[in-house]
Amino acid sequence: MKPVQIHAAPGIRKPSTKKPGAIACPGLVITYSLDELVAGTTELSRYTRSLACSNGYGGSTTILPTATTIAFTPKTGDVITCVLTYTRTAANAKLVIVKQSTILSDSVNLGTNPKAIPGAITRYAISVTNTGDFPVDASSIRISDFLPPNATYNAASPVTFANGPTPSGLSAFNPATMVKFSNQPGGVAPYNYPPNTAGFDAAVSGLLISPAGTMSAATGTAKPSFTVTFQARVD
C-alpha cells in the first residue's frame, strides 16, 4: 500500500484512517499523535484498539508509539508507518443507573418552589438505561433501594413505571406483583413486609423492584431505558 505523506505544523493532531500511513520528515521537528474519528453512529467504546508502527529507516533512534495516547517526534530520514486496528468486543448488556429526588410540595410553599422541610413530599426516580449491544437476561433486573432515616414511604401512591424515549422492551409493569417491601434495618432482605396502603407507612425501610421481561439492546444512539418512581414524606 502506498504510504501517505503527512506535513503538519508542530503540535497539530492529525486523524488517522484505518489504512496504513507513512510520515516523512525532511528536516522539520514535528510532534505527532494519532487518533481515529468516528463515522456515523459507531461507538468506539465497543471496540478495543491497538497501534502498530514501524520505521523504514533502520538507523533511526526514534521511539515509536504503542498507543494513540503517546505522542512521538520523528527524526530526519524517518519513514514511519502506523496501523490502527479496532477489534469488536463481545456483545454484552451494560446498565447505567441514575437516581434523582424531586421535592413536589411542602406545607408552607405548597407546590411553588417547595423545600425539603418536615412534611414535604419527595418523589424518588430511578432510571435504568441499557447502553450495551446485547439484551438483558429475561426477568433478571432487580432494583433495591432503602428509605433515608428521615423519610416515610407513601404506601398510598404505588410505584410507577415509564419507558424512556427508546422503550425498554420490558413487559407491562404491575406494582402489585413486581414490588416488594422490607421493614428490616437498612432496608435489606427479606422483602416480605405488607405495607399499609391507606397512607404513609413508617415501617417500610426498603423496596425491591423486579420488572419482568427482556430489556432490549442498544442500537447505535438508541438506548432503551425506563424509570421507576415512588414517593416519601420528609419527617
pLDDT tens column, 158-173: 999 999 999 999 999 9
Residues 118 and 74 in one domain: no
Peptide bond into 175 cis (omega under 30): no
Residues 49 and 146 in one domain: no
Give the pTM.
0.70
Alpha-carbon distances of 34 from 68, 84, 205, rounded to whole Å:
5, 9, 53
In this structure, is residue 212 part of a structural domain?
yes
Residue 107 and residue 138 in contact, taking contact as beta carbons nearer than 8 Å:
no
What is the per-residue pLDDT for 131? 93
Residue 126: in which H helix or E strand, if any?
A: strand 121-130
Residues 48 and 115 in one domain: no
Residues of the chain whose pLDDT is less than 70? 1-29, 41
Task: Give the 3-state secondary structure of residue 187.
Answer: helix
In this structure, is residue 1 part of a structural domain?
no
Residue 178 and residue 137 in contact, taking contact as beta carbons nearer than 8 Å:
no
What is the per-residue pLDDT for 198? 95
What is the per-residue pLDDT for 21? 55
What is the per-residue pLDDT for 36? 75
* R_g of the chain computed on alpha carbons: 28
What is the per-residue pLDDT for 196? 95
